[in-house]
A and B are shown apart, each in its own frame.
Chain A
């Protein structure tokens, strides 16, 4: 079956009324659930899983995929309006999306996120269709050494996104990696820094960390400030829509973000996190005025949103073509397929072409639904900001608690949020970047396990990092970044200090 035949066939599958209805249902539910802080795709999919036993396998998977995208977009809404990210990807979106909302440009920020997500997904589908074969080889050609080197490069590249001194940025990354060490060590089974708490055996809850560092820290700082500033001025419909200049600024970041996401998404694991951080770092680096970033630069929303959506499309490549799920959500979807007697794997394209191509087309349709559904909603979301903060924040606190609780039904995690929130506020006060801490937390354990695994594979020979071409490439890139960073920093540093004085 050629690609064109496949797509035509897929279109026939995806346009069945029942499939369309479930796709729409998934998109609506995903968005609504995703907006609730901390309750992301995982919770929404769990909620819907029982239904999937009773509907056709195509409809089931299409619905779950739509929930997945919907929740991702919903998460961006909460991040932009209230600085409440539930995932590391949406944490990147807060960096410039939230300042935009603070400046009364919430509508534009939401519009940007929506359009970039849509473009990222659609271009991601094109990448998927054209390069599925090549991308599926990517997963197996990456070994432990390559992953370790790639993630170190990711950390180094991203540590430039913090404002101010490099030492402060690096300290946050290292602190994040240390927090990531809490829990069972994969390689030895030893329990580190758990202090006898069984609740800590699986480590610190990611949602609790993200909510505490961003959401709670923001609430604490904002209670008095919001009252002083008053609610944002009422905006007219025209101001919700980006200007021509905004649109022009979005094009290049979306293109670059999509490419990054498309590549990294095909690697099982953290493709989506690493690509959104890298996209942000890249936009900042190529920008003519990098100092605008962190203060509401539209490129800082467009690039990462395109990247993580394109990554979540290509993340289906290893899941469907190798039967290797990259993250818990993909594993869930794989489970849904298996329940229907479909075994994803290298044979899937031959054995179940309906399923494969139907899914590809449905991704597109699901994203179209999302766009149509959400553009009119932007106005409603923005008007939410007009609710005085003193009415809003107690409710947010409750929603954060329940969002964190929903992850694994643990009240211990709520207590953790309290502590992390206080620390997060103090860190923000002292101009440390919580986003870098989060990135370190996510990538740290992966770096450690892959580094140690690589040395096991090579039986203790560190040359493995230079002998494998992919790893070697990343090692060289990392050093290049470091040298470039220091040169540029000292250059800027001398300028900045002369200006500051």
Chain B
């Protein structure tokens, strides 16, 4: 790493400063230059928009520019790698995949989601909705499960093998004791087209992808995967506890602010505090909700717990899927 050697002077200076001042005082002076936030998806995607919604007030609070670096690729994994490679003052805003399921799905991940990442805080969560075409025979979850009684009678589209949409559908199928037929797509747009065209029966989709179709009367939403009704689609019943499904059924996608492991704890604390202030802002909450995301302020430990829980949850689903193949 030549870049580290050439930065030795700066590093030595920083070290000396660090010795002289207390860690907390340093976090007050931090940051000395622009802060970089690596986002795993292209400009205009929802993680990118979330990052920009957060970056703007964050830059104001820190008094330094916050540069959003789009490093799309491998479902967000490339951005995590680049954040780790770049080192100082690099952070990431990323989705759950690279932190919870990537180590199971990508053989040469190049990092350990627990050992190499320091959680800063959760930003927002989004549930998925179970959507079917308007002419689907059932109107509720119980009817859907009944229609799916025969193995593989009902097909569903996902946004790829191992995607949140795929794993959520399998989690649901396990919980409901049915066998659904998986057909992978590349985007919710393709899944929507295919449901409208009558090629597939259903799909677990982002609420904002299904909502316009539901308003136009071409699709129906049968259930939502969050623990409580979701503000963007308040009328859709939660899956948990409905039609004989377990009370603790919950599957959510999320976006989180992360840092490389070894980042000064005072810096993480500062960032977490700023993040929570931003997420408490009513305008920010509304902008997120319009895109289908619920702001979720919390501590770094909350995020760490979330990563642990979801790694276990999705790991279990991946085990079942792989065993079935």
Physical contact A–B (CB less than 8 Å): yes
Given contact pairs A188-B161, A345-B213, A345-B215, A198 touches B110 in the complex (Cβ within 8 A): yes
Query: Quick check: A140 and B193 within 8 Å, CB to CB?
Result: yes
Given contact pairs A45-B43, A189-B161, A346-B216, A408 touches B81 in the complex (Cβ within 8 A): no
Identity of the chain B residue whose Cβ is nearest the Cβ of A185 in the assembled complex: B161
- Residues in A381-432 with C-beta less than 8 Å from chain B: 408-410
Q: A110–B194 Cα gap in the complex (Å)?
A: 40
**B263 contacts chain A at the CB level, 8 A cutoff:** no
**A489 contacts chain B at the CB level, 8 A cutoff:** no
Instruction: Out of B78, B106, B110, B215, name the residue touching A347 (CB < 8 Å).
Output: B215
**A106 contacts chain B at the CB level, 8 A cutoff:** no
Query: Quick check: B52 and A202 within 8 Å, CB to CB?
Result: no
Set of chain B residues within 8 Å of A188, measured between Cβ atoms? 161
Query: Quick check: B193 and A322 within 8 Å, CB to CB?
Result: yes
Query: Quick check: A341 and B78 within 8 Å, CB to CB?
Result: no
Query: Quick check: A198 and B155 within 8 Å, CB to CB?
Result: no
Could you tell me the distance in whole angstroms from the C-beta of A481 to the nearest C-beta in chain B?
A: 26
- Most chain A CB inside 10 Å of its own CB: which residue of B74, B110, B215: B74
Q: A188–B69 Cα gap in the complex (Å)?
A: 30
**A40 contacts chain B at the CB level, 8 A cutoff:** no
- Residues in A311-345 with C-beta less than 8 Å from chain B: 318, 322-326, 328, 331-333, 335-336, 338-339, 341, 343-345
**A139 contacts chain B at the CB level, 8 A cutoff:** yes
> How many B residues face the partner with a CB closer than 8 A?
54
Query: Quick check: B107 and A191 within 8 Å, CB to CB?
Result: yes
Set of chain A residues within 8 Å of B69, measured between Cβ atoms? 409
Query: Quick check: B186 and A186 within 8 Å, CB to CB?
Result: yes
Query: Quick check: B43 and A49 within 8 Å, CB to CB?
Result: yes
Set of chain A residues within 8 Å of B194, measured between Cβ atoms? 143-144
Set of chain B residues within 8 Å of A141, measured between Cβ atoms? 197
Query: Quick check: B74 and A338 within 8 Å, CB to CB?
Result: no
Query: Quick check: B44 and A336 within 8 Å, CB to CB?
Result: yes
- Residues in B86-116 with C-beta less than 8 Å from chain A: 105-110
Query: Quick check: B49 and A457 within 8 Å, CB to CB?
Result: no
Could you tell me the distance in whole angstroms from the C-beta of B307 to the nearest C-beta in chain A?
A: 20
**A243 contacts chain B at the CB level, 8 A cutoff:** no
Could you tell me the distance in whole angstroms from the C-beta of A497 to the nearest C-beta in chain B?
A: 46
- Most chain B CB inside 10 Å of its own CB: which residue of A189, A196, A199, A202: A189
**A187 contacts chain B at the CB level, 8 A cutoff:** yes
Please, what's the 1-or-0 string for B163-192, where 1 marks a CB less than 8 Å from any CB in chain A? 000000000000000000101111101101
Query: Quick check: B211 and A343 within 8 Å, CB to CB?
Result: yes
Instruction: Out of A186, A343, A459, name the residue touching B184 (CB < 8 Å).
Output: A186
Query: Quick check: A196 and B108 within 8 Å, CB to CB?
Result: yes
**A142 contacts chain B at the CB level, 8 A cutoff:** yes
Could you tell me the distance in whole angstroms from the C-beta of A266 to the nearest C-beta in chain B?
A: 12
Query: Quick check: A408 and B73 within 8 Å, CB to CB?
Result: yes
Query: Quick check: A199 and B73 within 8 Å, CB to CB?
Result: yes
Query: Quick check: B107 and A408 within 8 Å, CB to CB?
Result: no
Identity of the chain A residue whose Cβ is nearest the Cβ of B152 in the assembled complex: A459
Set of chain B residues within 8 Å of A199, measured between Cβ atoms? 73, 78
Q: A181–B46 Cα gap in the complex (Å)?
A: 27
Query: Quick check: A198 and B74 within 8 Å, CB to CB?
Result: yes
Query: Quick check: B192 and A322 within 8 Å, CB to CB?
Result: yes
Query: Quick check: B200 and A457 within 8 Å, CB to CB?
Result: yes
Q: A50–B65 Cα gap in the complex (Å)?
A: 14
**A456 contacts chain B at the CB level, 8 A cutoff:** yes
Given contact pairs A449-B186, A456-B183, A189 touches B160 in the complex (Cβ within 8 A): yes
Instruction: Out of B73, B192, B196, B211, name the residue touching A201 (CB < 8 Å).
Output: B73
- Residues in A118-171 with C-beta less than 8 Å from chain B: 139-144
**A295 contacts chain B at the CB level, 8 A cutoff:** no
Instruction: Out of B155, B193, B216, name the residue touching A268 (CB < 8 Å).
Output: B193
- Which residues in B have some Cβ–Cβ distance to A below 8 Å? 42-46, 49, 52, 69-74, 77-78, 81-82, 105-110, 152, 155, 160-162, 181, 183-187, 189-190, 192-194, 196-197, 199-200, 208-209, 211-213, 215-216, 218, 287, 290-291
Interface contacts beyond A323-B189, A346-B218, A347-B215: sample of 6 additional A-B pairs, CB < 8 Å, sorted by A: A198-B81, A198-B108, A268-B190, A345-B215, A346-B216, A347-B212
What are 10 residue pairs bridging A and B, where the CB atoms are less than 8 Å apart in the complex? A42-B42, A140-B193, A142-B197, A191-B106, A268-B190, A331-B187, A338-B290, A410-B78, A456-B155, A459-B181
- What are the nearest 3 A-B pairs in CB distance? A345-B212, A189-B161, A346-B216
